[in-house]
Structure 1
Amino acid sequence: MTKTIKTVSFAAAAILVVIICTFLIIRQTHENVLSKETVVKKVEASYEGKVTKATQSKDKKTYDITLENPKGTYFVKADAISADILSMNRVKAVNPSAMTEKEAEHLALERVPGTVKKQTRQSQVATYTIQKEDGKTYEVKVDMQAKTVLSADQISSKDQQKTPITKKEAKTIAERKTGGTADDADLEESEGTLIFEVDVDLPDNKEATVKINAYTGKVANIVYED
């Protein structure tokens, strides 16, 4: 009986020693853990950017850090004791700012010097119709995000006739032809041809309707109203 009690006591003492040692190790580890502020300062000193978030893991061994800089957003895992970077991954890339339409036009004219006759835009691609001094016309496409010319192709006379003028151009033609002020312009189809029908207010308080070929820009008809 006495021997059994001694054995149990020895086992209990051994378990207690293990618990105490484990506690001391954990305590020592926690005492050596760097503060969040210290780790953040080291990360910002080592890498370009600003730390926007920092949290300590449940086991107190690491810090999870979000770092933002001009190139994007990064997820950083740092050692809580040494502040060494254990891993660093970019989770979001920052796209460079796109060109303005004015900058895109300048780039198009650098490729094909001349006069811009028409400009359209679809998403980040701007398309310019440019006429050179020799009368030749080119279509230049500019990627405004990548800031580069995608293509610069000469347009044949046949292809030019397939490209409608804009509503703004139609109103300008009507104003020049009548000397009035264009009020509205509607695009309609007449005998297989697209026609702009432009309402114009004349200086004498009268009105006129100007019909313009949407492909050639030529005035097809003017009707003056009393």
Structure 2
Amino acid sequence: MFKIMLIEDDESLFNEMKDRLSQWSYDIYGVQDFGKVMEAYSSIQPELVIIDIKLPQYDGFHWCRLIRAHSNVPIIFLSSRDHPTDMVMSMHLGADDFVQKPFHFEVLIAKIQATLRRVYNYNTERVELRTWRGATIEYVKNTLTHDQQAVLLTKNEMLILKLLVEHKNQIVTREELIRSLWDHEHFVSDNTLTVNVNRLRKKLEPLGLDSYIETHVGQGYQATEEANI
């Protein structure tokens, strides 16, 4: 049973979501004090976090930043505001998906299932290590190490890198990446992928590897490798 932490201050919506999600055998936890979200998170240790953007005291972006400083737990944002910038900001902060209110529960369930399947099935793959450009990629730890310097990647950043490196010197289309990241590509804007790739490049920059993720306009992205490797 997966533990899901639901950070939602609308009590009626929280109760409805808890009832509906419990029917799918998810263990749902809420927050009593919205000024102590991190304390609740540390106590619960959830496998998935769902955060409403509009919250009392501090917004969902604030709590996402704090969670991301300590954990790569998958995060799904909820928002009642019809602002494209909310989706861009959530992905920029490392969220795994975004759901616009009001929503159909079938859509939310599909996104939760896709996220959990992608994150936790992915981390149990038999292949745990791969090398690229002299760097060691550790899939289970979500780390990339080069010249004794390591960077920690989010689940989405690692999945993008994994797909590109396993098809190195080949173009992986934007559609393939979006499908692999979010499953339901018709709910995801093209700009969301761009934001995630840019975040990956920024993580690779201190290792001198950012330029080896090439953009092919109108097609997709490519991880390059020396021909003799």
TM category (shorter chain) comes to under 0.3
Pair member with larger Rg: 1
Per residue, is there more helix in 1 or in 2?
Answer: 2
Query: Which structure carries more relative contact order (alpha carbon 8 Å, separation 6+)?
Result: 2
TM-score by length of 1: 0.22
TM-score by length of 2: 0.22
Per residue, is there more strand in 1 or in 2?
Answer: 1
